[in-house]
Amino acid sequence: MQELILVNEADEVLGYADKLAAHMGAGSLHRAFSVFIFNAAGEMLLQRRAEDKYHFPGKWTNACCGHPVRNETTCDAAERRLGEEMGLQVPLREVFSFIYRAEDAQTGLVEHELDHVLLGETDEHPRINTAEVAEWRWISSARLQQELGNDPHRYTPWFPLAIEKLFAQGLIEPI
């Protein structure tokens, strides 16, 4: 059982909850992270979530996402999860956080997260964990803009929100 860290809007710890329980009903606000990896050409690393993920299966998203657990820093959790999902060891830096809520119509689960966004750079190719990741690819900003415009439902709901904030803060090229 993985216990997630329940937080308030100021990211202060309120308690802990089982991972699945935190995603049921209205969803409990909990700490999470989203990792964005770029290569030297400025392309972003994307993954398509495995089909048996408990929510938003088969959707394209950023390099990896996850939740820190009790007594784990967000950055340590993000670096751990990047290794577990993508087989990459990349130093990360946190750039901002935001709150969002999204319902998965397919599973009935709810994401209600205070999502910490972290960035890293590498030209290494991932060695994916197929239990977590169906496939991966590098994508240019122009191609990503085209795909998000043509078929946004191929992507997880938090992904375009984070992209918009990365752009607004000048951390990525406009898309």
Could you list the active site residues?
65, 113
d(CA 106, CA 92): 32
Determine which helix (DSSP H) or strand (DSSP E) holds 74, and give its type and residue range. Answer: helix 74-86
Residue 34 CA, chain-centre distance (Å), reads 3
The one-letter code for the residue type at 71 is N
The one-letter code for the residue type at 168 is A
The residues near 136 (Cβ < 8 Å, ≥ 6 apart) are 45, 46, 47, 48, 86, 126, 128
Query: Is 14:8 a contact under the CB 8 Å cutoff?
Result: yes
